[in-house]
Each structure stands twice: as structure tokens, then as C-alpha cells.
Amino acid sequence: MDNTQARLQGLWLPLITPFLDGALDETSLRRLLKHFVSGPIDGLILCATTGEGLTMDEEEVERLVSISAHEVADSGGGLPIYLGISGSDTRKLVSQLQRTANWPIDGYLIACPYYTRPTQEGLIRHFSAVADATGRPILIYNIPYRTGVNLENEAMLELAERQNIVGVKDCCANASQSFDLLQRRPADFSVLTGEDALFFSALTQGADGGITASAHVLTDDFADIRDSLSDGGLGDTLAKWKRLARVPELLFAEPSPAPVKHWLWRTGLIDSPEVRLPMIPVTKGLARTIDRELETRATLVAT
């Protein structure tokens, strides 16, 4: 494998997309970006599942990408931006790559084809065609409980030989498969967990980082887990993780990103917790639970 891109690692944020009265909320988007690009994250994913990309039209996606790239550039940092795209028609996916060829992004997060459930050979051919259609790096998104198909390790390792397939967002929900991949992957192939609740354990097993929706909140604490493990402090890091582990549990108690948006709205980072159908806002019960968690943590900080 001869990838020219730097290995992807660390804490990546699959950014939510703020809406207001049915439209892209550009004011809240800019506020979010200013908040996060100045913080400890290592990369941004736009318009993926957490970003409700499947509910957005092409003009909205392009506008979101343009604003995000502008804010990152203004920050003076080189924070990489990946665009989440997906589909079950390989030709249409190739067309998406061609339409976005001149957009200010650094790479793509591309999910396995959903619903059609192709064979492993079909998956290899699908991602090979996609890789041939762009010179940008590609992260494969393997999440069989959403797509209906699991990209198994033999196929994954074959695809890892391609120069611009640089890693995987791993949500395979099979601990043995994940650990096997970590042992056998090429040196330049990144494994980033997409399971927020497994962020700590994945890092202890050798994962390069995580794409973590829960890191929208308490971002510094998630980054502290990343840094503490890098420094070799397993015992101290486990204690920190025990204090943080309830957050992913809360934020995935109902379909994402509604709980994340409720938390961000309560803290003033976005002006509305609005989501687009078929997503709906959090229930009153979960809203109360999140509000209590915020109050508890505010009290702990104050003391």
C-alpha cells in the first residue's frame, strides 16, 4: 500500500446540520464551526448520518460545505473536511463524486450500499469503481445494522490495497471482526470506531481514533481520553471514561442526531433542536433526562 495521505487518526466529529424553520440555519452553523474548529478535534465529517445528509438537497449540501471550508480556512488551521455520501447505485455514486470534484473538501466517507445487500465481490467492485472515480481519499463506512450488508475483513483488506481507500469507520457490531481487522490491516490503513460507547475500548485495542457524534458535547473530555491513552495512562483514562460513558448512552437513547441537537440547543450553540422527517425531536422524557444531566455537570464544574 502506498498512500500519500497522512494516516487518519484522533477524534473526528460528524457535524450535525442545524435547521431553522425548515431551512439550513447558517447562523448556527457558523457558530458551531467557530466553536469546534478552535477545539481539540482532528477532523470534520459533513452530511453523514449525524448530519442528516440524506434529507438535504444538493444546493444545501454545497452551501454547507462552502461555509464549513471558509470557517476552517479563517481559523488558520488545516482541519480536514470529509463529505459523507452514500447510495445503492454505483453509477449515481460515481456521478456524485464527479459533481463534487471541485468542492473544498479533503476526502469522502462512503457507506456500503444499503438495502440491496450485494455479495462481497459486489462490494469490492462497488468500492473499486468509486475509488477509480476520485483521486481523493475514501473512508469506508461499514455499518451493517443500517445497510443490511457487512463488508467482511477479507474484502476490506483487498480494498485496503487501493491507494486512495485509506481507512474505515468501523460499526460492524462484531468485536471479533473489529479486533481481527486491527491485527491484519496494512500499516497505513486507519480504523476509526464509529461506536461512541466503544470509543475507549476501541482505542485500547489499537484503533486510530473515532468518528464520534457524542463529542459534540464535552469535546475536551473525549479528547482527554484520546490523549491520556496516547500517553500510556490506562488506569487514569479508564477512570475518566467511567465519568464520561453515560453521555453516549444518553445521546443514543433515541435516534441520532435528535438528542445531540437538544443538548447543543440547551447550551446555546444552535438556535433550534429541529430535525427533518423521518427524524423527530426527542421525547419529553429524554429531554428532561438530558436537562438534568446538564444541570448536574454544571454543578460539578461550579464546585
Among all residues, which ones are annotated catalytic? 141, 169
Is 122 in contact with 152 (CB distance < 8 Å)?
A: no
Question: 66 vs 50, 105, 179, CA distance in Å?
Answer: 19, 9, 37
Q: CA–CA separation, 90 vs 43, rounded Å?
A: 27
Amino acid letter, residue 127: F
Cell numbers for 3: 498512500
Instruction: Give, rounded to a whole angstrom, the gap between the first and last alpha carbons of the chain.
Output: 52
What whole-number distance in Å separates Cα of residue 297 and Cα of residue 283?
21
Report the run of H or E that residue 23 belongs to, with start and end. Answer: strand 23-24
φ/ψ (deg, to 5) at 160: -65, -15
Joined together, the cell numbers standing for residue 174 give: 462484531
Please give the grid coordinates belonging to residue 280: 423527530
Phi and psi at residue 10, to the nearest 5°: 90, -155
**Residue 126, CA atoms < 13 Å, CB-side half-sphere:** 24
Residues 292 and 299: their CA atoms lie apart, in Å, by: 11
> How far is the C-alpha of 117 from the C-alpha of 19, rounded, in Å?
32
Which residue type sits at 183? Q
Contact 19, 276 (CB under 8 A): yes
Distance CA 193, CA 212 (A): 8
